[in-house]
Amino acid sequence: MDVTLSSVALTLLSPVLAITALVVRRHLGSPVLFRQMRPGLHGRPFEMIKFRTMRDVIGPDGQPLSDAERLTPLGRFLRSTSLDELPGLWNVFKGDMSLVGPRPLLMEYLPRYSAEQARRHNMRPGITGWAQVNGRNAISWDEKFQLDVWYVDNHTLLLDLKILFLTVLKVVKRDGISAEGSATAEKFEGSQHVISQKVANS
C-alpha cells in the first residue's frame, strides 16, 4: 500500500514538486534537496531527503549559525505547509519509510533513548505519525516518544487512515510547526531519568 500510494502521489504531485524545486533553487541555490542519514527500521540508517529550507551560513567561529538564523522566510513557508516533506515520498516508494509511522530523527539520538523509547524503531519511520497529529513540535520529547510507542503497539489500517486525515487538517491549520521559543524543535539531549542513570553508572 505504501508503494502504491507513494507512486500515485509522486505522479499527481510532480508539478508541485517541480515548481517547489525551482523556487528553492532560485532563492536558496544548490543543492535543492537536503539529504541526511536517519535511523530507519530497527535503527538501520538510510538517507532521508527533503526540500532544503535553510541557508548554509557559518559564524565567525566556523560553526553553522542557529536554525533560527539560517531558516529563511521561504523555509518557514515550506515547513508550515509541509511542502518540504514531499520528496520523502521517494523514501516511501523505496521502502525506507512508510506514509505513517514514528518520525525519523537524528542518528545522534540513538544512544540517548531509554529502552522503552527505542521501541519506536520497531516500525518503519513515517512521513507523518501519531505524535505529529497530537502536537507535532509543540509537545515535549517525552510526550512524542510515548505517542510513538503507543502507535507501535496499537497501529491498524483504520488508525493510519485517521492519521493521514488529521495530518491534512494539521497542515491546513499549520498547528505545532515549532516548539515554543524555537524556530524548529529543540534538540533531544536524553530523558532526565536516562541521563541520571548514565551519570550513576559512570
**Residue 114: its H or E element:** none
Predicted pLDDT of residue 80: 87
Q: How many CA atoms lie within 13 A of 88 on its CB side?
A: 23
The total number of structural domains in the chain stands at 1
Phi, psi angles (nearest 5°) of residue 97: -135, 170
Regions of the chain short of the pLDDT cut 50: 195-196, 198-200, 202
The closest of 167, 6, 187 to 94, measured between CA atoms, is 6
Predicted pLDDT of residue 78: 92
DSSP 118-178: GGGGGS--EEE-TTGGGTGGGS-HHHHHHHHHHHHHH--HHHHHHHHHHHHHHHHHT-S-S
Predicted pLDDT of residue 148: 97
Q: Report d(CA 105, CA 111) in Å as an integer.
A: 12
- Domain span at 94: 2-201
Is-above-0.85 flag for pTM?
no
Predicted pLDDT of residue 191: 73
Predicted pLDDT of residue 199: 42
Q: Report d(CA 145, CA 132) in Å as an integer.
A: 11
Q: Report d(CA 5, CA 19) in Å as an integer.
A: 21
The region that residue 96 occupies, defined by phi over 0 for left and psi between -120 and 50 for alpha, beta otherwise, is alpha
